């Protein structure tokens, strides 16, 4: 069996641990399908938790489940003993434990070299236990003054241990997400809310996600040998001209994204086929089933983004939603508008969640600059009336997003401070300078505000 695994791993260019993970990850699809046949809510909770733990054991080994117990136990004890502050306690404790695991296992280096460990799954689990604890704390607050997301997801009752166990490890969905809410999980398991009546067949959307995963993996396997990450540290890269280096940065980022598209397409198929991904019906005629809870990426939305502001809505969608609900919106003071500091704080949390590597931190600071620079161009675009000029500004925003995104994401890939700065310097920091120039110009060239309609006396 060991020799067969080695031969199979070598044939697709991955290590044996990565192949084992991929096989267990693919197994989440039939696991989700079988969930539908389990009788009773308690049985479904137990099935969800036990299959998730079993897949973790087969993929990462026995120590993975021991790692997962720590944040799960912390979150539940905080809810049980310190309800008012359970969200804050779990946020700090679970994030602290995740950071310690990132440092101990050096997970970024392992991923960069083609390895795998349980910290990726721990990242998803961390978000789930934090949101559950925060929503339970929100459950004692009065509805007046709460945001819509707080009203929708707050928990007035403490989930049972079996419910919590099933939610945290549900059918292996902690491997790569998507992140979802405890309230949605409970309604799905107990056949309440939109799941109270019969739900549409998940067959076609599941097949679409599987086909998409196959295409994404094929493109990644084709492109990755042509645009290896190691090229950034080779003398050949620095012998090229500016435009050649800039093109290679674009292709490096473009190539790397197909790996993530593959992973998220598999997780989308698993969540759809289980039924959890169902989010209701569209308002079109005839109405169509929506599976938005399963969706973590819009491939064309990323590659053809007309503005950097759109990227959080189409890339790692459920994590972006989590960051908006549990970080960004909670940093906004009542009566005040959000600004750059709230965005920077959110991006910093996202960077720390990924790991304490300089490349991650630089990337997410760059992202904050990129988004704010794109907002400036968009404001100019909306202010002009000339359709030709508006089209030119729209194209500039598209080109700006393409340039700065692929420049910035080199840091996310190479991780080290030295390599990140070297790659940025090789193109004269163009992806940093352009957003800063846009922000400075935005303070000088301010579009005229539309006059407010006068109130009738």
Where in the sequence numbering do the catalytic residues fall? 354
Q: What backbone phi and psi angles, to 5 degrees, belong to 333?
A: -75, 145
Quick one: tokens of 349?
Answer: 């949390």
52 touches 174 (CB < 8 A) = yes
Which of 280, 43, 36, 317 lies closest to 180, judged by CA? 317
DSSP state of 170: G
Which of 419, 418, 315 lies closest to 367, judged by CA? 315
Query: What is the C-alpha to C-alpha distance for residues 60 and 9, in angstroms, rounded to an integer?
Result: 16
Query: What is the C-alpha to C-alpha distance for residues 151 and 232, in angstroms, rounded to an integer?
Result: 48
What SS3 class is residue 150?
helix
Distances (CA, A) of 249 to 48, 221, 235: 42, 18, 15
In a 10 Å sphere around its CB, with 0-12 CB exposed, 13-18 middle and 19+ buried, how is residue 162 labelled?
Answer: middle
The three-point CA angle 8-113-54 to 5° equals 60
Query: What is the C-alpha to C-alpha distance for residues 212 and 445, in angstroms, rounded to an integer?
Result: 43
- Name residues whose C-beta falls within 8 Å of residue 104's C-beta, 6 or more positions apart in sequence: none
Name residue, tokens 């679409």: 208
Burial 48-84 (b: 16+ CB within 10 A, else e): bbebbbbbbeebbeeebbebbebbbebbbebbeeeee
DSSP state of 145: T
98 touches 353 (CB < 8 A) = yes
- Name residues whose C-beta falls within 8 Å of residue 380's C-beta, 6 or more positions apart in sequence: 393, 445, 447
86 touches 94 (CB < 8 A) = no
| Residues in a beta bridge with 280 | 290
């Amino acid at each position: 069996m060991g020799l067969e695994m080695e031969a199979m791993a070598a044939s697709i260019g991955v290590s044996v641990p990565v192949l084992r993970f991929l096989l267990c990850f693919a197994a989440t699809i039939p696991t989700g399908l079988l969930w539908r046949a389990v009788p009773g809510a308690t049985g479904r909770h137990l099935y969800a938790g036990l299959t998730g733990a079993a897949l973790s054991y087969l993929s990462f080994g026995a120590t993975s489940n021991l790692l997962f117990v720590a944040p799960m136990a912390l979150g539940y004890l905080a809810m049980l003993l310190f309800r008012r502050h359970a969200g804050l306690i779990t946020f700090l404790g679970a994030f602290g434990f995740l950071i310690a695991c990132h440092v101990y296992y050096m997970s970024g280096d392992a991923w960069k070299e083609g390895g795998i460990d349980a910290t990726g799954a721990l990242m998803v689990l961390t978000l789930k236990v934090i949101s559950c604890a925060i929503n339970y704390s929100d459950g004692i607050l009065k509805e007046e003054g709460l945001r819509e997301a707080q009203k929708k997801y707050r928990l007035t009752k403490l989930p049972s241990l079996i419910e919590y166990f099933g939610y945290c490890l549900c059918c292996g969905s902690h491997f790569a997400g998507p992140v979802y809410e405890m309230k949605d999980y409970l309604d799905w398991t107990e056949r309440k809310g939109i799941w109270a009546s019969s739900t549409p067949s998940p067959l076609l959307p599941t097949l679409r996600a599987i086909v998409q995963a196959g295409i994404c993996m094929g493109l990644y396997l084709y492109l990755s040998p042509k645009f290896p990450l190691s090229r950034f540290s080779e003398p050949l890269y620095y012998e090229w001209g500016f435009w050649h280096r800039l093109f290679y940065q674009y292709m490096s980022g473009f190539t790397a994204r197909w790996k993530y598209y593959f992973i998220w397409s598999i997780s989308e198929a698993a969540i759809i086929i289980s039924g959890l991904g169902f989010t209701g019906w569209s308002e079109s005629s005839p109405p169509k089933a929506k599976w938005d809870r399963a969706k973590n990426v819009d491939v064309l939305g990323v590659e053809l983004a007309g503005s950097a502001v759109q990227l959080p809505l189409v890339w790692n969608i459920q994590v972006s939603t989590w960051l908006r609900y549990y970080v960004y919106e909670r940093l906004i003071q009542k009566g005040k508008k959000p600004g750059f500091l709230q965005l920077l704080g959110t991006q910093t949390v996202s960077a720390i969640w990924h790991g304490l590597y300089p490349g991650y931190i630089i990337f997410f600071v760059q992202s904050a600059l990129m988004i704010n620079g794109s907002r400036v161009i968009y404001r100019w675009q909306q202010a002009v009336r000339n359709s030709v000029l508006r089209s030119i500004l729209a194209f500039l925003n598209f080109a700006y997003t393409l340039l700065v995104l692929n420049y910035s994401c080199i840091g996310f890939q190479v991780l080290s401070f030295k390599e990140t700065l070297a790659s940025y310097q090789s193109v004269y920091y163009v992806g940093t300078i352009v957003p800063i120039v846009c922000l400075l110009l935005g303070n000088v060239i301010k579009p005229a505000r539309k006059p407010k309609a006068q109130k009738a006396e």
